[in-house]
Structure formats: C-alpha cells, structure tokens
C-alpha cells in the first residue's frame, strides 16, 4: 500500500515539473516573439516618424551649409551632387506616399507617381531616406573645416620642412581643393610623420656636427700630427706605385720593340728571300711596323727620364 502511494505521488510530481517546464518555455517564446515584434514596430515607427516637413527642413539646412561653404571659398561640387540626390529622394518619397495611399491624390497624380517610380522599389521609401544625404552633407562640412584647420597648422611648418615633406603638403592641398577631404587628412598625417622624421634626422646631424667639432677642438694637435704622418706615408706609397707602374710600362715597351724588330726582319725575309709576299703587302706591313717602333722610341726616353727622377739615379740602363 505504501509503495503504491509513493508511485502515485512521484508520478504526480513528475507531471507537475514537466508542465511547469512547458509553460515556462511557451512564455519565453512569447516574450521573444513580442520583443522581436516590438523591435520591428519601433524600426518602422522610426522610419515613418520623419515627416515631409522634417525632410524639407533638412534640405533647406543643407542648402544653407552649401551656400556658406561656397562663400568661404570651398568647392561645393560634392555637396551639390549630394544635395541633388537628397532632393531626388524627397520627390520620390512624395510619389511613394501617394502610391501607398498615405495622402489624398487625384488620378492624374497617381498616374504620374506610378510613371516616376515604375523602376523603383518604392514600398520601403520614407522621408528618413532623405536624411541619409543631408547628414552626409553635414559630415562633409565638418570634415572640410577640420581639414582646413589642420592645413593652416601644418602650413606654418613649411619653412622648416624638407623637399619630401613639402611635396606631401602640396598633395594634401590639392586633395583639399578637389574635395577629397579624407585623402587630404591622410596626407596631412603623412606630412606630420615626415616632418617629425626630418626633424629627428636634423637633430641627429646637428648632434654629430657638434660632437665632431668638440672632438677636433679637444684633440686638434693630435689630429694635425696624425694627418701629417698619414700624408707623408700616403705620398711615399704613391711614389712606390708610380715607380712600379713606370717600370712595367718600360718593360712592356721593350718587349713590343723587340717584337716589332723581329716582325720587320721576318717581312724582309718573306719578301726578298722567300718571295712569299708581294711588294705592296711588304710596304704596308713595313710602314706599319716602323710607325709603331717610332712611337716607342719617342715615348720610352721620357718614361726612362721620369723613372730616373723617381729612383734618384742619374743613369738608367735600358
């Protein structure tokens, strides 16, 4: 009997636990569904909360921004293009409101709206879309004046800048004039980095110059003595190499002289003894050998005289 009562009680407890778990799961899913639905409704409300008057006010404000920037000397091509897009979206949203039945419109107006939006997904177009472009215009204005201020700051460094830094700054100016404000800001950062790098290099160079000057001022006597010794040794070594070069050149010319004499004898033998070459060929060869031999005889005495001077001897045997 007790065992039966325990089994019945356990079964009832298990059923209650399972029921509570299922109920909790259902409530959680309902809450998630409600939260998701609430978010969708909130997003839709945010889209539709921007009225026609809000969008028109934003467009007028953007026109004022563009006029002010133009009066301050800015190019406004980018702003004007963005404003045109905002106005285009504004008119398309007006047509979309007609097709959604949000405003009273005549049949002609509905036909015109249908024709204007025939290639556009107008069902999700709202006046909040206009604000995307008007906010972009505000961002452009802020960026333009920010870059202008940065340009003014960096321009003051131009006299202390290197050519590399000046080129970067000129590129930044051109980007600013072309309304490429993000590029201009990036180039100004590159200019700042280059300027700091050049400044550090200049400081290092100045430190090296000061160090060298101080070193020379402290050890100038020792430096002069060292330079005199190095100069003397260098001069002596140069004379040794010069003498060696003259000796080799004279030796080479002697060998050439001997070779030419042998060639002349050989040509005479081939012509007058063996009769192997013609008179014309003999004359050409012999004349060529004589010219080279004459050049050697003219240059060799000069080289030998120079060698005598270097050797400190009055006579030089060939």
Verify that 24 and 54 share a domain, yes or no: no
d(CA 285, CA 296): 17
Task: Provide the CB-side half-sphere exposure for 259 (13 A, CA).
Answer: 8
Cα–Cα distance for residue pair 182/188, rounded to 1 Å:
10
**Quick check: is 247 in a domain?**
yes
Q: Which of 77, 110, 140 is the last residue of a domain?
A: 140
Q: Is residue 214 part of a domain?
A: no
**Do 58 and 129 lie in a common domain?**
yes
User: Are residue 250 and residue 292 in the same domain, yes or no?
Assistant: yes
Query: Does residue 65 contact residue 137 with C-beta atoms inside 8 Å?
Result: yes
Decide: residue 96, CB within 10 A, 0-12 exposed, 13-18 middle, 19+ buried.
Answer: buried
d(CA 32, CA 26): 10
The predicted-structure confidence for 282-302, as pLDDT tens digits, reads as follows 888 888 888 888 888 888 888
Is 44 inside a domain boundary? Answer: yes
Domain for residue 147, yes or no?
no
Residue 30 falls inside a structural domain: yes
- Number of folded domains in the chain? 3
Output the pLDDT for position 312: 67
Average pLDDT per block of 10 residues along the chain, 318 residues long: 51 55 45 39 55 94 94 91 95 92 88 90 91 95 93 87 90 93 94 89 71 73 85 78 83 85 84 84 85 86 81 51
> In this structure, what CATH number is given to the domain that contains residue 273?
1.10.287
- Claim: this prediction has a pTM higher than 0.85: no
pLDDT number for residue 227 = 86
* 256 domain residue, yes or no: yes
The domain in which residue 304 lies consists of: 232-311
Tens digits of residue pLDDT in 232-241: 787 778 778 7
pLDDT at residue 19 in the model = 54
Q: How high is the pLDDT of residue 28?
A: 43
**Contact between residue 237 and residue 294 where contact means Cβ atoms under 8 Å apart:** no
In this structure, the answer to whether residues 29 and 83 fall within a common structural domain is: no
For residues 57 and 15, membership in a common domain is answered with no
Distance CA 259, CA 238 (A): 32
């Amino acid at each position: 009997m007790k065992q039966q009562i325990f089994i019945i009680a356990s079964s009832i407890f298990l059923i209650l636990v399972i029921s509570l778990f299922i109920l909790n799961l259902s409530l959680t899913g309902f809450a998630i569904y409600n939260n998701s639905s609430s978010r969708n409704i909130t997003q839709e409300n945010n889209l539709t909360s921007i009225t026609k008057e809000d969008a028109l006010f934003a467009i007028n404000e953007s026109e004022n921004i563009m006029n002010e920037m133009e009066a301050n000397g800015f190019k406004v091509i980018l702003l004007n293009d963005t404003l045109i897009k905002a106005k285009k979206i504004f008119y398309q949203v007006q047509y979309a409101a007609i097709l959604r039945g949000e405003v009273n419109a005549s049949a002609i107006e509905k036909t015109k709206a249908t024709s204007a939006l025939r290639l556009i997904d107008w069902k999700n177009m709202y006046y909040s879309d206009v604000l995307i472009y008007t906010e972009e215009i505000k961002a452009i204005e802020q960026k333009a004046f920010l870059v202008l201020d940065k340009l003014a700051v960096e321009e003051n460094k131009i006299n202390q800048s290197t050519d590399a830094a000046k080129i970067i700054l000129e590129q930044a100016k051109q980007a600013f004039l072309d309304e490429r404000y993000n590029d201009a800001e990036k180039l100004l950062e590159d200019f700042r980095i280059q300027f700091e790098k050049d400044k550090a290099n200049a400081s290092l160079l100045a430190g090296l110059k000061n160090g060298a000057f101080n070193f020379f001022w402290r050890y100038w006597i020792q430096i002069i003595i060292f330079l005199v010794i190095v100069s003397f040794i260098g001069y002596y070594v140069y004379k040794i190499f010069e003498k060696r070069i003259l000796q080799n050149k004279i030796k080479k010319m002697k060998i050439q002289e001997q070779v030419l004499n042998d060639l002349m004898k050989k040509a005479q033998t081939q012509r007058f003894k063996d009769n192997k070459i013609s008179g014309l060929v003999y004359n050409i060869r012999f004349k060529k050998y004589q010219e080279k031999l004459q050049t050697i005889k003219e240059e060799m005495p000069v080289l030998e005289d120079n060698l005598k001077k270097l050797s400190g001897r009055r006579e030089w045997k060939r």
